[in-house]
């Protein structure tokens, strides 16, 4: 079987690991864009995950003519916090997350999250991870795909794998946090894995034959 190659517009090692784990069973190679770190940064100022994913996929696909380029935007929505951190998940610890141009580190983001939910009873700490993937070629979005995972927010970390909010995101369906799962198992349950499988279904039916 010939292995297909899909390009991912990210330098986040956690995301690359997640995508590679999700792609593993399907003879698809995940590759990062050449010289990605030297490309102009795409400002993620969209009001939704979908808008940011589209913006990144369209912009970065222009640097790899004729290639399929995937970009995702993802984050954590906590009901008791009115949906925060939401689209600002990666910049949550900034003084003004909506205006921040650079991401804040995982430790700081998690610390702010725990401060915000500490007084919320555990049974009301429901949240979900959301992921939107956009696939583009030559600056045009060809498709968008959504995935989500439901869970509860803990106030103490469990597990040392994963990244971002994973150590605090407990999945009742599996009885563990996402940080307690190896990448291959996490892909079966995660928001990013679900969105990627939706992309794969589209990819198989719409593009493999071309």
> Tens of pLDDT along 52-74?
999 999 999 999 999 999 999 99
Expressed as residue numbers, the domain containing 104 is: 4-206
Residue with tokens 């190659």: 5
**Rounded CA gap, 86 and 80, in Å?**
12
* Residue 73 annotated among the catalytic residues of the structure: yes
Q: What was the pLDDT predicted at 66?
A: 93
Q: Calculate the CA 188 to chain-centre distance.
A: 14
Q: What is the CATH number for 24?
A: 3.90.950.10
**Rounded CA gap, 95 and 115, in Å?**
14
**Rounded CA gap, 20 and 188, in Å?**
12
- Give 120-146 pLDDT, tens digit per residue: 998 999 999 999 999 999 999 999 999
Of 84, 89, 82, 86, the residue nearest 104 (C-alpha)? 89
For the entire predicted model, the pTM comes to 0.91
At 3, the pLDDT band (50, 70, 90 cuts) reads low
Q: What was the pLDDT predicted at 150?
A: 97
- Give 78-107 pLDDT, tens digit per residue: 999 999 999 999 999 998 888 777 889 999
Backbone dihedral angles phi then psi of residue 159, each to the nearest 5 degrees: 95, 155
The total number of structural domains that make up the chain: 1
Q: What was the pLDDT predicted at 1?
A: 45
Residue scoring higher pLDDT (116 or 35): 116
Q: What was the pLDDT predicted at 191?
A: 97
Q: Which two tokens stand for residue 57?
A: 């996929």
- Give 147-185 pLDDT, tens digit per residue: 999 999 999 999 999 899 999 999 999 999 999 999 999
Q: What was the pLDDT predicted at 207?
A: 54
Of 207, 176, 188, 210, the residue nearest 23 (C-alpha)? 188
Least confident of 37-41, 137-141, 189-193: 37-41
- Beta strands (DSSP E) in the chain are 4-8, 28-32, 69-78, 126-137, 140-153, 169-171, 176-177
Of the candidates 72, 73, 106, 166, the residue annotated as catalytic is 73
Checking DSSP bridges between strand 140-153 and strand 169-171, what pairing results, if any? antiparallel
């Amino acid at each position: 079987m010939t292995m297909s190659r899909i390009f991912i517009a990210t330098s986040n090692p956690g995301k690359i690991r997640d995508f590679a784990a999700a792609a593993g069973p399907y003879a698809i190679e995940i590759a990062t864009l050449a010289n990605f770190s030297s490309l102009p940064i795409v400002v993620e100022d969209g009001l939704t995950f979908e808008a940011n994913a589209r913006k990144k996929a369209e912009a970065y696909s222009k640097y790899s003519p004729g290639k399929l380029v995937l970009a995702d935007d993802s984050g954590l929505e906590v009901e008791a916090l009115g949906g925060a951190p939401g689209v600002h998940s990666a910049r949550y610890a900034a003084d003004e997350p909506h205006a921040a141009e650079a991401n804040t580190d995982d430790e700081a983001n998690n610390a702010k999250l725990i401060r915000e939910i500490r007084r919320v009873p555990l049974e009301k700490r429901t949240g979900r991870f959301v992921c939107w993937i956009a696939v583009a070629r030559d600056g045009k979005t060809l498709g968008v795909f959504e995935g989500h995972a439901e869970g509860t927010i803990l106030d103490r970390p469990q597990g040392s794998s994963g990244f971002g909010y994973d150590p605090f995101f407990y999945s009742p369906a599996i009885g563990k946090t996402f940080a307690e799962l190896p990448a291959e198992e996490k892909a079966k349950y995660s928001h990013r894995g679900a969105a990627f499988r939706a992309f794969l279904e589209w990819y198989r039916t719409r593009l493999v034959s071309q």
